[in-house]
Structure 1
């Protein structure tokens, strides 16, 4: 028994490291996107990110699963998910123009609470009072950050919250995908569908890319793809209850990048609100895992 237990830390450690690195990469992705919003439309940033990332995403899927990863049984479901992905990313990138990176990142972490609401109200899932309490506390954290009615309130602060709602729909829409399709298939098709959907609109906002910005667009594709790949692998290496809470390390990275690049310093209420959202989110994750174990 002791020898079997001694093997557990290895896989779990790899999962934890992969999750932390993946979140760091996605935070770097967001920081680069915020930098690019100074000269380009969020839609153009998203389009080029997906176009550049698509070949690498296909290569990773082929390596991990072979040609079967490129086969979809419900392509229309992926197209709809691509549209949701474009809408969420556009709103999130737009919020970078007006909000600090830490503030926008903290607000988008209310997505799990929207998933709970939608699941209970529209999908008929049973939600206990503890999860409802976590939802309420999470939204109190949002109110602390955006401070509606206060002198510092900005209507644009609701944009990351709207992003979280659309992102929740994106996560729940994975149920529409055929169960025979793997996470690598989902990764390939959401990248391809995102490029396709944004391609219809990007000509209206296109600005010629300056040569000095090519490396930034390459960076956002590299960090975004690497982050999603490592996070996917993290959930395969360790239980969700172990790695999912580490997603909140993104708040630390967002604060660090915001200070290093733009000298942004979140105020006390933003820090308190972010802590409340993170705490209630982690409670939801642990509660969900416990409920799944009991089932």
Structure 2
């Protein structure tokens, strides 16, 4: 029994470590994307990111799930999820062109609240009044961060919020996928669908890529795939209530990168709004975990 508890504690610790490293990788992915979108269309960045990442995704799927991970029982579901994923990534990459990295990152954190709202309004799941208050508080945090009506308000501030909505739809749509398919299948087909769908439109915005920039595209593919893989493993090794809040450490990395590279210092309302959004998200995860334990 003692050995079992020690093993479980070790898994949780490793899960927390993987989550932190995975979040750091995705933060590097976002920083590189911001650098690339100053010279390339967000659509081209998205296409090359997925195209270069596809061999990595295939290798990971085969390593973790074997040849069964290559099979899909509902390919149409993956295609639909690919459309949602491309929309979310395109909106976020576009926002990075105009907004400080920390501000865009903070506003995307509203995604868990969208998931709660979609689950209640669309899927007719039971959501208590406390979680609804958390949702309202989170959206109040968004209003504080973007300050509609203020002289400094920009319409592009709504792009990360729209990104969060599409990301929430992506998470909810995972329920459409056949339960026999592993998370590695989902990762593989999401990357493949992203490359395929963005390839349709990328010729209209294509710009030749000099050799000096190829390493940046390789970096965004590597860190993006590594981040998603590590975070996926983190949720498999430790309870969501433990690792999910660690996702918010991305704001620290985004703030640091924005300050060091672009000399961006978000205004105080952005941090205040982010604090409210993060608190609401953590409360939502905790309530979900508590309800699952009761069930």
* TM-score by shorter chain over 0.5: yes
Length-normalised TM-score, structure 1:
0.98
Map 1:115-154 to 2 at 5 A: 115-154=115-154
Structure 2 unaligned runs (5+)?
A: none
**1:74-122 CA distance string (max 9 Å, x none):** 0011011111111000000000111000000000111111111111111
Q: Is structure 2 residue 25 aligned with structure 1 residue 60?
A: no
Map 1:65-84 to 2 at 5 A: 65-84=65-84
The number of equivalent residue pairs is 295
Q: Please provide the CA RMSD for this pair.
A: 0.9
1:2: how far off?
4.5
Map 1:149-160 to 2 at 5 A: 149-160=149-160
1:8: how far off?
3.0
Measured in 1, the distance between the counterparts of 2:215 and 2:250 equals 23
Measured in 2, the distance between the counterparts of 1:123 and 1:205 equals 38
Measured in 2, the distance between the counterparts of 1:186 and 1:37 equals 27
Map 1:191-230 to 2 at 5 A: 191-230=191-230
Measured in 2, the distance between the counterparts of 1:101 and 1:184 equals 29
SS at match of 1:151: coil
Measured in 1, the distance between the counterparts of 2:65 and 2:123 equals 32
**1:240-265 CA distance string (max 9 Å, x none):** 11101100011111111111110111
Length-normalised TM-score, structure 2:
0.98
Measured in 2, the distance between the counterparts of 1:267 and 1:2 equals 50
1:7: how far off?
3.2
SS at match of 2:220: helix
Q: Is structure 2 residue 1 aligned with structure 1 residue 6?
A: no
SS at match of 1:200: helix
Structure 1 unaligned runs (5+)?
A: none
| C-alpha distance 4-177 of structure 1, shift in aligned 2 (>3 A) | closer
What residue is the counterpart of 1:246 in the other structure? 246
Measured in 1, the distance between the counterparts of 2:212 and 2:228 equals 26
SS at match of 2:7: coil
Measured in 1, the distance between the counterparts of 2:124 and 2:100 equals 37
